[in-house]
Amino acid sequence: MAARHRTPTMWDVARAAGVSQATVSIVLKGDPGSRVSATTVERINDAVQALGYRPNATAKALRERVAELVGFIGDEVASAPFAGEIVEGAQERAWQDGQLLLVVNTGGRRDLEQAAVEQMLSHQVRRFIYASMYNRPVTLPPSLESEEVVILNAVDPSGTTWSVSPDEVEGGRAATRRLIDAGHRRIAMIDIQTLESRLPAAVGRYEGYVAALEDAGLGIDPELVRFGGGSPEHGFEHAGALMDQAAPPTAIFCANDRTAWGAYQALTERGLRIPDDVSIVGFDNQETVAPFLRPALTTMNLPFRDMGWAAADLLLTGGAARKGKARSMRLRCELVERDSVATPRERA
């Protein structure tokens, strides 16, 4: 389809100002050493205003071979129910440098990913954020290998590309320590995947749980550790089984908020009150879940906005361009205190 109206060009500005196109070009480039008179500059600026001329960023991108665009390639992250903040954080940082974020969801399909990368490259995009919905090991598509890339919410097993991800281990430790500090000793954990999954969120949060118990001189009771699948159904099933055993826990660390939601349902069904009978800590601070459970859920915040911001910042300050010096940047998860933790009751 052809354009329906003509955008004013530099030639139109020149004609309106009664000067050459070269003069307009010199003035708009803002070259301080140019010999154009002040009245001519003023005439050109007036013509720019009157015509609504806007300097052509596409032309600029073409000239400089670097567009004012940051490519954001996400498997599902841009449409994940809880990760929109990643995009917002990255965009906020890009905006500071007058850059736009070009977002594409690939749905995890390699062919779409490849086509998106190709098209972005042909639009002179030279900086990329490669984001994952879940914190997991990822492999870059070959066409991105020589570009400036930051991997987001994931890790690069080869260690050659910068990555920004949450500090899962420290988060798991802080969540568990919150329960220890409240006086709990029998603390269960319902993880979101098995350790064999090698999912950093599952493995790291578990390692943090173990470390916090060891820090406090408490042993690991295998009866109290369950591996679910991360959904409310799994939380419901495993929390129910935990409470039905001979020596139930007084507190449960659920490795995500959805698992915690299922645990709430299992406890409510058994007439157990939170936090009076059982304390719960979640993970993710999922904004559509955690504040609305009854009681509101104490949980660990995933620093999505900060992660997006940090990834864009690494690209725009040139940090990500230093090949051979790539490293993982792990951002801290903060405890969000709500109403699901209390001191354990004395056993009758």
The residues that touch a second copy, with contacts defined as CB under 8 A, are 1-5, 7, 54-59, 61-62, 64-69, 76, 78-82, 84-85, 87-88, 91, 95, 98, 100-105, 107, 112, 115-116, 118-124, 126, 146, 148, 231-233, 236, 258, 261-262, 265, 268, 286-289, 292, 294, 318, 321
CA distance 171 to 64: 43
CB of 223 to a second copy, least distance (A): 26
CB of 263 to a second copy, least distance (A): 12
Tokens of 40: 């001519």
CB of 346 to a second copy, least distance (A): 27
CA distance 253 to 299: 9
- Report the residue number, 126 or 136, with the smaller CB distance to a second copy: 126
CB of 202 to a second copy, least distance (A): 20
- Report the residue number, 9 or 328, with the smaller CB distance to a second copy: 9
307 CB contacts (<8 Å, ≥6 apart)? 86, 89, 152, 153, 164, 165, 166, 331
CA distance 23 to 35: 10
CB of 78 to a second copy, least distance (A): 7
- Report the residue number, 215 or 269, with the smaller CB distance to a second copy: 269
- Report the residue number, 82 or 283, with the smaller CB distance to a second copy: 82
- Report the residue number, 223 or 287, with the smaller CB distance to a second copy: 287
CA distance 104 to 109: 12
- Residues facing 162 on adjacent strands: 150
Q: What 3 state SS string does 146-184 have?
A: CCEEEEECCECCCCCCEEEEECHHHHHHHHHHHHHHCCC
CB of 148 to a second copy, least distance (A): 8
- Report the residue number, 37 or 146, with the smaller CB distance to a second copy: 146
CA distance 275 to 279: 4
